Amino acid sequence: MNFRTIIEPFRIKSVESVKFTRREDREAALREAGFNVFRLRADDVLIDLLTDSGTGAMSAAQWSAVMQADESYAGSRSFYRFEAVVKDLTGFSHIIPTHQGRAAERILFHTILQPGQIVPNNNHFDTTRANIEVEQVEALDLVIPEGRVPHLIHPFKGNIDLAALERLLAERGDLVPLVMVTVTNNSGGGQPVSLENLRGVRTICDRHSKPFFLDACRFAENAWFIKLREPGQSGRTPKAIAREMFALADGCTMSAKKDGLANIGGFLAMNNAEWAEAARNLLILTEGFPTYGGLAGYDLEAVARGLEEVVEEDYLRYRIRSTEYLGEKLIAADVPIIRPPGGHAIYLDARALLPHVPPVQYPGISLANQLYVEAGIRGVEIGTVMFGLHPDGTETPGAMDLVRLAIPRRVYTQSHIDYVAEAVIAVAQSRQQLRGYRIVSAPKTLRHFTAIFEPLA
């Protein structure tokens, strides 16, 4: 017999209660938080879809590895285990642990970038962009045109535009110190990049003698999409596909808070020995000795085990299917979302849903706030607030105005997701009542985290 239901490939050994609140409590909490869901207390949130980063549930095997860890300052056994797992997966020669992804980014970019340069990517995530711009370097997004249109269906909407990359390197190649590709493409909707596209990047980089780095946060989800969608790949294991993805690159930055299935951790990995030495020296200055990089020995153990579990087929089948399940329910109810559903999140198209709220009145903030008030669900704006403010202080609409509902790994069950779908559909049906916002105060960079808003009358 062949059953169609894809079940969670685990049973639950330890549970954590969620707190139910009343609508008026949530209204007060949101007002108190300056109408910015980042400023809420997590205890006031019922279902927290703010991020899939560091919010996953660890396995019993990870927790027991935590107890086995070696906390030696230098040369810890846990580092060697971590290093062996990362090398086996990525094939890179130099493995530098960091406390999370952005530390790997900062160390890489501060080590190699010079003011006035350009770093191309399919789409830079916010911390990546900020860590590049702080070096007075341009972070250039070159995702394929299909990747910018939410309702357009394409199997690999995260692909980088190879012709645009070729043109950039031909015309201004002397300004490009490296090429990056983010798998899956978070800012573009959690969309995958094909092996064919990565091979194309490799060829172009070889032609112009440029190093190619992956932002590998969600490499396993990307590998699963390749298995599902790319011709000739269905018979391979996700790990074999992931290895080929890494083999096409010269290095990577990684946040182990995503596909490392850990609550903290990351790494910078590469083949270039000179860059690696410079990176390790900077690491010692700000993160820690190169065998722990700001992590406890037990974090290194959790990541090492997590990287083994994340490429298991049963896990990835469930993971990608459960995100798609939420997407299907919303599509069936005509809620505009980025299609097809991405790997780690569903992205509501707030601009399409709220045409009466102009981008500079932040439709994403309006929708995210209403979801919280109505249902206690926390999503995050990915749009004009996150990307609309430029280093010169000017503001323009972001490429899209989205609300991301990110699904923590192995945390919520199908009924939680059913509740989320019901709530989103109800809020979408009351769209006419939603109003825009203005910013009362905000910092100059990464303003979305701490900005204070006020609803417009």
Residue of the chain from 239, 257, 280, 378 that contacts ligand F0G (CB under 6 A): 257
Under the criterion CB under 6 A, does residue 53 sit at the interface with ligand F0G? yes
Structure tokens, 88: 């086996």
Which residue type, as a one-letter code, is found at position 93? S
Q: Any bridge partners for residue 179, and if so which?
A: 212
Residue 266 contacts ligand F0G per CB under 6 A:
yes
Nearest partner of 107 among 296, 300, 285, 292, judged by Cα: 285
Nearer to ligand F0G, 129 or 431 (CB): 129
Of 218, 231, 223, 295, nearest in space to 264 by CA: 295
128 binds ligand F0G (CB under 6 A): yes
Query: Residue 26 or residue 257: which is nearer to ligand F0G going by CB?
Result: 257
Nearer to ligand F0G, 38 or 289 (CB): 38
125 contacts ligand F0G (rule: CB under 6 A): yes
By CB under 6 A, tell whether 101 contacts ligand F0G.
Answer: yes
Output the residue with the shortest Cβ distance to ligand F0G. 101
102 lines the binding site for ligand F0G (CB under 6 A): yes
Question: ∠ CA 347-226-212 to the nearest 5 degrees?
Answer: 90
Q: Which residue in 182, 191, 222, 366 binds ligand F0G (CB under 6 A)?
A: 182
By CB under 6 A, tell whether 215 contacts ligand F0G.
yes
Assess 55 for contact with ligand F0G (CB under 6 A): no
| Ordered DSSP codes for 18-70 | -----HHHHHHHHHHTTT-GGGS-GGG-SEE-S-SSS-SPPPHHHHHHHHT--
Of the listed pieces 121-129, 238-246, 276-284, 298-306, which binds ligand F0G according to CB under 6 A? 121-129
- How far is it, in rounded angstroms, from Cα 306 to Cα 219? 13
How many chain residues interact with ligand F0G (CB under 6 A)?
15
**Sign of the dihedral defined by the CA atoms of residues 185, 188, 191, 193, in that order:** negative
CB closer to ligand F0G, 147 vs 436:
147
Q: Encoding tokens for residue 118?
A: 């350009």
The answer to whether 307 contacts ligand F0G (rule: CB under 6 A) is no
Cα distances (angstroms) measured from residue 199 to each of 40, 162, 193, 312: 43, 10, 11, 24
Residue ranges binding ligand F0G (CB under 6 A): 51, 53, 100-102, 125, 127-128, 182, 186, 215, 217, 255, 257, 266
